[in-house]
Amino acid sequence: MVGRFIKTAALGLALPFVTAANSSAACSLALVLAMDVSASVNDREHDLQLKGLSGALTDPSVMTAIRNVGGIWLTSFEWSGRYNQISQIDWRFVRAEDEIHAAADQIAAQPRSQTEFPTALGHALGHASILLQNAPETCARKVIDVAGDGINNEGFGPASAYGAFRFSDVTVNGLVIAEDQDTERYYLEEVIHGPGAFVEVTRSFEDYRDAMTRKLLREIRGDQFASIHH
């Protein structure tokens, strides 16, 4: 099953790259944003995620951090079932405020891609790994920022993804939207991966923007450390 997914994903990832003439010769960060749209996320919560991510990207502190590292490569997708990973924005280099706002506006304007599928977290991680392999530039750091409100319940899990896909030089951080400790524990024990990996926790989708802002700042600056931040 994992092999089948690898073949399917590889065939489906001949993505058009959005390049930028001002891309840094020594890229600091390639960042993949992965947003949970499984059946456990209702339409209101999905809207809060979209607005929260867009608002976090355009937060003045985040835009300053992006400029300070010379810009970053960025891509974003929605995920749910094992074969349901839908691009929000393809790879693009962002540094100037207008570039960051354009990326954030495109994310905020995306219609929800699906509503009825379960939580195939391992497949989402595999998809993110392939995206990083197809990044337009080799960056000093490669980070997957995966957000979700539940544990894997379809297909192979994170451990299988880490065994089957290339993650040797990748950090996977988690943003958990959770009302209980079980999902937090799952992300800590099963999901986060690589040097400096951490979990950011919020108890409510209403606080998604603030949590994502904190998370992006740590990822962009490169000051990650292994801990839960409430």
181 band by pLDDT with thresholds 50, 70 and 90:
confident
Q: Which of 92, 119, 123, 115 is nearest to 21 (CA)?
A: 92
Rounded Cα distance between 85 and 51, Å, is 19
Output the six-digit token pair for 108. Answer: 């905020």
Q: Does 10 score more than 60 pLDDT?
A: no
CA–centroid distance for 189 within its chain: 18
DSSP 18: B
In 10 A of CB 112, how many CB atoms? 14
Q: Does 226 score more than 60 pLDDT?
A: no
Query: Would you kindly state where each structural domain of the chain is located, as residue ranges?
Result: 2-229
* 117 Rama sector, left if φ>0, alpha if ψ -120 to 50, beta otherwise: beta
Average pLDDT over residues 136-145: 96
22 band by pLDDT with thresholds 50, 70 and 90:
very low
The pLDDT score that the predictor gives to residue 86 is 94
Name which residue leads in pLDDT, 13 or 223.
223
Phi, then psi, of 144 in degrees rounded to 5: -110, 125
228 band by pLDDT with thresholds 50, 70 and 90:
very low
223 band by pLDDT with thresholds 50, 70 and 90:
confident
pTM of the prediction? 0.86
The pLDDT score that the predictor gives to residue 25 is 52
Q: What is the CA radius of gyration of the chain?
A: 16
Q: Does 96 score more than 90 pLDDT?
A: yes
2-229: which CATH topology?
A: Rossmann fold (3.40.50)
Name which residue leads in pLDDT, 55 or 182.
55
Torsion of CA 220, 221, 227, 230, to 10 degrees: -70
pLDDT in tens, 107-132: 999 888 777 789 999 999 999 999 99
Output the six-digit token pair for 129. Answer: 């790994």
Longest CA–CA span in the chain (Å) reads 46
pLDDT in tens, 76-91: 999 999 999 999 999 9
